[in-house]
Every structure is written in structure tokens, then in C-alpha cells.
Amino acid sequence: MTFRDHVTVSAGNLRRMKLRTVLTSSGIVIAIAAFVAMLSFGAGSQRNIEGEFEKLGLLSLMQVSSARPGSAGDTAKAPRLDDAALERLSAVHGVELVYPYDAFSVRVEGADTIRTSKAQTLPVAALRTRLHANLLAGRLFESDTAREVLLSQDMAHDLGLGAPDSAVGRRLILSVRVSTIDSGLAHVLTGDGETLFARLRRIKLDSLMYRNYRTRVLRSEANEALRRFVGGYIGSQEVVRDTVAVAGVRESRRGGPMRGEPVAVTVRTARRFSSRGPVGGPTELFAAMSKGTLFSGSGTPIEKEYPNVSISFNPRVPYSQVRDSIQAMGFRVFSFAEQFESIQRFFLYFDVGLGVVGMIALLTASLGIVNTMVMSITERRREIGILKSLGADDIDIRRLFLVESGIIGAIGTTFGILFGWLATRVLSLIALGYLRNQGLPEMELFAMPPWLLLIALGVGIGVSVLAGTYPAGRAARVDPVQALRGE
Amino acid sequence: MADLPFLRIRDLCRFYGRGGHTVRALDGVTLDVQRGEFLALVGASGSGKTTLLSLLAGLDTATSGTVEVDGTLLGSLSRKELARYRAQKAGMVFQSFNLLGHYSAVQNVETALYFTGTPRSERRRRAEEVLAQVGLIDRDSHLPAHLSGGEQQRVAVARAVVKEPEILFADEPTGNLDLENATQIVELLSRLNKGGLTIVMVTHNVVLARRYAHRSVRMHYGRLAEPAEPAERGEGAVGGAER
């Protein structure tokens, strides 16, 4: 008996028992539909995340930051993430581009509107990476020395520049407040309308021989000097301006490690701002104070140290090799490729979890198949006896019932996939409507890759055939003599 | 060297355990059937005729004794080999026809060819040929329920012979038929026998047995009751019954 004969005979038997076949298949339909919908959600989520990684080129991107010291004693050991470190990082095998994340506050003056915002410096090479390929209008900087700026869509809107296209080419004035060590020192000497000498004159020299007085005076003067220095450093900030043209408008990207600041300036503009002193608040001042470098190189700006640095590397070089080289230099490395592997692992467990839930439903449905087939054997004992008398062997009979289970499974699985797909379409429409209402970017939550369909088919039919194993074995053991006698 | 009988049965026993008692359905039957012989097994109900036929057809296994068909001991065959024996060498006809109710006449006949390795394309042609031989070609698409008893039995005979077996076992093929149909069926079997088919037929109808069979063997309580009777049709016994 060929497989085709088995299918023909089995299909004929199932046609005779339409209602029973439909009811038994229904269990499989529901289970497979749930199985497909759940795995489709897992696959969709995975595709969205992987797509984002791919779109932004994150797999060949790392972020480097200074190793946070575990204790005060480690401070000296932690390497500084300064310009010299950038050069060392550029020399690491596989590294193609190194640029710091250098954000500072900036005042932006448009035609009628003034806004204070965060800005970052972006070299042209960095803008050419996929991470920054989010231009809505205009172009990237012409060069690192161009007097140009890139705005986020929201920023362009806030400045009243209208649509992205109309913002391109408009002129803006950027200004930052910079602090200098000199203004701090000058304030110590002459600040608050009282000179340092006037204060020194108030000290009772003959009382300095008393320890308590001496200590009190020293503490008081040290506090006063520091207060004056900080007051002078912060309060006497110099304003540096630069007139720039809007080269392009970028998609706004808020939050997360991939956030982009609303204003991106060229290297030239950033240097112009920082040439007079540190741009921004007292953070860098305190950092320099803690490192004991505040007065090193008097008259020069505080040496620039970056909170973190982005590294783009050759995708053909294993990320672990680049990561290890940078870690060996004493820096902390955040590798997106490594995170991607963790995400993939998570989705593997997630899919297995969803699959297990689906399998439980499927196993429950398979009990229906066992029941149907056992009933069928009881009713068809005589038929089994006839087939055996005609020459069917145990294997033929077993296969006949296994094929019947398989056909029930195939019918259930096919419709289950169809209903599962329909369910994902309905849920997807609901989700898209919700995202649209919330003003969130629209995304397809479900995916139906070929592997999912193959797994669903394999699992549906496989479990059904497995469910038919016991009844098929019973059918094969039917004694033809008793069956023909009708016992 | 003398020709061996086609069917050699030696001291064949089949006991059942039932309700704590042993039922001796067959108790030491020894019998030879020659190739081309038409043997009738007669006897009262419960005398062991059907049990003997089941053993000869390879559907059942003996408690002891041997059945040798064309030199092959059935007892030495595996279940798979026994199935192949039923598929290719032995045909069976039953009292209650045992047709598959959801198949048409021609499909029922075709079913026997599922297990012979006959190509799919040839099955329908051969089934129709045999149905034509039994005079039912015009009823080939009818379901068994739409056929008379005699027609159903002819379909059953067609199903048994479509695979061209060497021996046909007929278990009271006329038991559910009126005299006219019974005669037609036995005449059909006789015709097939004349074509060279060895037939062992269980029957209560001694008249038909005497008229068409080469010899009759009576069974009584699981044993052969008397020596074979020569048939009326005058060819004489081809083989002999032995105790």
C-alpha cells in the first residue's frame, strides 16, 4: 500500500465523518492559531529591534566612557577620556571613527524667537554614519570648518522656522557662556567690593599665636576664597557668539542611548566656543578640581574631558576584539553588538516560552485526536479485519490511522495558521490605531516569517501524528478473526 | 517423486481459553488438498469449519500442528509474511460478504489490489474486468447497500479473485443467499475452479457441495468426521481426507 493509497483511504474515511473531523480539527485550529499569533508577536518584536539596530548601524558601534572608580584611591588610575585618549582609541585595530559626545547648553536666536537648548558637536564623518542618517531636509555639514548648524525637527519648529524645507538656509545666532580661571582668580583678589589685602588687614597678627584663632581664621579665609573663586568663575561668564546657517533639519530622536541633541554644531563652532574656557556649568570645574588640574597651565582652558565617546568600527573585525583592546586601555565599553546578542538570546527564550504555552494548548487539542481515533477504531474493527483479510499488514493499518491523525492535524494546522494570521492582522490594526492616537511612531508588531509557518506546520502535524500513535498501535493489534466475527 | 499436495494440514489444533475452560475448536485435523481441487467442508455450526478456514487463510495461528501451502509452512511465517500470503496467494469470501459499505462495487474490488503492489493505473482496469466476469460491470458504481445479497457476494468473489490468488477460501458463501443466488455463486466458484483456482469452501449446503465440489469433508466437534465423499459431478476425489 503506497503512501498515496494511505492518504486516499484515510481522506475518504475522514470525509465520511465530517462533523467529527471538523470538531476534532477545531481544537488544533485554536491551538495553532494561538501558537502562531504568539510566535508572530515574538518574531515581530525581534524584527523591529533588529531592524532598528541595522538601520542605525549599531552593530559596528561602541560607546566608551571613563572607568568609574570603585573608590577614591582608584581615581588616579582611571584613564582620562580626553583628546589624547581619542587619538589612542583611533589607533585601535578595526576602529574607523572616534568622536566624543560633547553636549553643552546653547542659546539659539532665530528671527523672532530665542530658545535655550542642548547642542552637540558632530564631525562630518560621524554624520555620514547610519546612526545620524536621519535628515529630513537640507544636507550635512559641508565641512568641519563650516559655519553651519543642524537642527532637530522639533527645534526648527520651536524657533518658528516652519517646515523642515523652509528652515534650511536660515541664519541663526548661537551663543554660549564660558567661564575662565582668570575671572575666578580675579574675583578672589578683588571680588565683592573688598580686596584680598583689605581682608588680610583685618587679621589680628598678634592673635595668630593662639591655635584656635589661627584655625578659625584659616578656615574662614579658605572658605571665602573658594566662594569668591566659584562666584567669579560662574558669575563672570563671558558670552561667545557665532552666526551660523541651517544646513539641514534632522528627525527628532528623543531618549535612549541613541538620542540626538536638538542642535548639532561643527567642530569649528565647538572650538570657537571652548577656546575661551569651559562651556557650560560648574561640572567641568569641579571635575578639574577633583583631579587637581585646575591651575595646571595657567591662562589656558581647562583640559577637555568627555563623558563618553562613540566608536565606529569595521564590521568585518569581531566586536569582541575591538572591545577587549579598548577595555585593556582601562575604559568602560558599551558594545551594541554585545547587547544585540543578549537581545537575541532573550528572544530565543521568549519564543521558547511562547512556544511552550502554545504547545500546552496543542497537547490539550491532541487529546481530542486520541479520543476520536480510539472511537474510530472501535467503530471500524470490522473494516480493519476486512483489510487484514485482504492482505493489509500491521504496518499498513498503523499507517492508515497515523495518516488520518496527520490529515486532521494538517487541516487543523492550515486553518490554524490562517486564523492565527487573521488574529495578528486584527491585533495589528488595533495596535497601529493606538500608537497613532498616542503620537508614537507606527510599527508592525507582528511578523510571519517562513520559519514560523514551517514550525507551526511541523508542530501541528507532528503533534497530531504523535497523538495518533497510540490509537494506531491499537488498530494494528486488532485480531482479524474476532473483528470479522463482529466480537 | 510424487507431487506434493498444494495444501498439507497435519494434526492441526486450535484451542481457546474461555471462562476457565479450554475450547477445542480444532482438534488434530489432518488433510491434503491438491492444486486445482474444489473441496467442500461441511458440518454443523461450531464444528470448527470457520476456525480451520481462518488458520488456512493465515488469519489465525494454530495451537499446534502445521499448515503447509505450496511447500511453505504458515507457522514459520512472520506476521508481515502472513499478510503478504493473504495479499497474493489466498483469497477469502465470507458469509456476510464483508464489503466496505462506503466503497462502490468497483472500489471494493480494487481494495484487494492495494496490497499486491499493483500499479494504481492498472487497478481500476483489472477490477472492472473481474466485475465484468461476475456479471456486475453495469453495477460497478453502486454501493453495497444498493446491491442484492447475491450481487454483493459476487462483488466479494470478484474482490477475492482480482489479485489472481492460488487458493480461495470461501466461508459459507451461500449462507445468506436464497437458493437461486446460492447456486449462482457456487457455479461461479466452480467456474473459477475450472480455471485452475484451488477452492476450499465451508458450507451447510450439502447438495451444492456434492454437486459442485470434487469432494466433501465433514467436520464434527473440531475433527474430520468421515473420509471424503466423492463428488456427484463424477471427476472423483482429487485428494483424500485423513485422520
Residue A45 forms part of a structural domain: yes
Are A426 and A403 members of one domain? yes
Contact A12 B87 (CB under 8 A): no
Are A331 and A228 members of one domain? yes
Buried b (16+ CB within 10 A) or exposed e, A462-475: bbbbbbbeebbebb
CB of B57 less than 8 A from some CB of A? yes
Question: What's the pLDDT at A100?
Answer: 83
Of B59, B99, B116, the CB nearest to A480: B59
Round to whole Å and give the CA distance between A134 and A365. 49
Buried b (16+ CB within 10 A) or exposed e, A329-348: eebebebbbeebeebeeebe
Question: What's the pLDDT at B87?
Answer: 93
Contact B98 A392 (CB under 8 A): no
Contact A390 B59 (CB under 8 A): no
Task: Locate the chain B residue with the closest alpha carbon to A484.
Answer: B98
Are A46 and A82 members of one domain? no
How far is B230 from chain A, CA to nearest CA, in Å?
Answer: 31
Q: Which amino acid type is present at position B155?
A: V
Residue A118 forms part of a structural domain: yes
Q: Which residue has the cell 492518504?
A: A7
Residue A61 forms part of a structural domain: no
Round to whole Å and give the CA distance between B107 and B114. 11
Contact A484 B59 (CB under 8 A): yes
Are A318 and A169 members of one domain? yes
DSSP state of B231: P
In 3D space, the residue among A416, A382, A376, A467 whose CA is nearest the CA of residue A17 turns out to be A376
Of the residues A336, A361, A393, which one is the last residue of a structural domain? Answer: A336
In chain B, which residues have their Cβ closer than 8 Å to the Cβ of A1? 114-115
Question: What's the pLDDT at B92?
Answer: 92
Of the residues A310, A336, A362, which one is the last residue of a structural domain? Answer: A336
In 3D space, the residue among A139, A52, A131, A135 whose CA is nearest the CA of residue A99 turns out to be A131
Please name the residues between 143 and 182 in chain B that touch chain A, using a CB distance below 8 Å: 159, 163
Q: Which residue has the cell 566608551?
A: A64
Interface test with A, best of B63, B85, B100 (most A CBs within 10 A): B100
Contact A394 B159 (CB under 8 A): no
Residue A17 forms part of a structural domain: yes
What the block records as the C-alpha cell of B71 is 511447500
Question: How far is the CA of A270 from the CAs of A120, A144, A147, A264, in angstroms?
Answer: 8, 10, 10, 10
Question: Could you read off the pLDDT of B84-139 as tens digits, one per residue?
Answer: 999 999 999 998 889 998 899 999 999 999 999 889 889 999 999 999 988 888 98
Are A257 and A195 members of one domain? yes
Number of domains, chain A: 2
CB of B18 less than 8 A from some CB of A? no
In 3D space, the residue among A274, A270, A227, A241 whose CA is nearest the CA of residue A172 turns out to be A241
Are A206 and A328 members of one domain? yes
Contact B84 A393 (CB under 8 A): yes
CB of B66 less than 8 A from some CB of A? no
Are A366 and A224 members of one domain? no
Give residue A330's domain range.
67-336
How far is A475 from chain B, CA to nearest CA, in Å?
Answer: 15
Residue A62 forms part of a structural domain: no
Are A145 and A210 members of one domain? yes
Contact B83 A393 (CB under 8 A): yes
Are A332 and A345 members of one domain? no
Of the residues A279, A302, A336, which one is the last residue of a structural domain? Answer: A336
Are A346 and A472 members of one domain? yes
Task: Locate the chain A residue with the closest alpha carbon to B91.
Answer: A390
Successive 10-residue mean pLDDT values, chain B, 243 residues = 79 87 89 92 88 92 92 91 93 90 92 90 91 88 91 91 92 86 88 91 87 90 70 41 29
Round to whole Å and give the CA distance between A53 and A61. 10
Question: Could you read off the pLDDT of A163-213 as tens digits, one per residue?
Answer: 888 888 889 999 888 777 777 777 778 777 777 778 788 888 888 888 888
Of B54, B79, B115, the CB nearest to A390: B115
How far is A370 from chain B, CA to nearest CA, in Å?
Answer: 23
Are A116 and A82 members of one domain? yes
Residue A150 forms part of a structural domain: yes
Question: What's the pLDDT at B240?
Answer: 33
Can you list the residues of chain A whose pLDDT is less than 70?
68-77, 236, 254-259, 275-285, 287-304, 487
What burial class does residue A210 get, using C-beta atoms within 10 Å of its C-beta: 0-12 exposed, 13-18 middle, 19+ buried? exposed
Spatial neighbors of B135 by CB under 8 A, at least 6 apart, are: B154
Round to whole Å and give the CA distance between B31 and B200. 12
Are A308 and A387 members of one domain? no
Interface test with B, best of A7, A390, A403, A487 (most B CBs within 10 A): A390
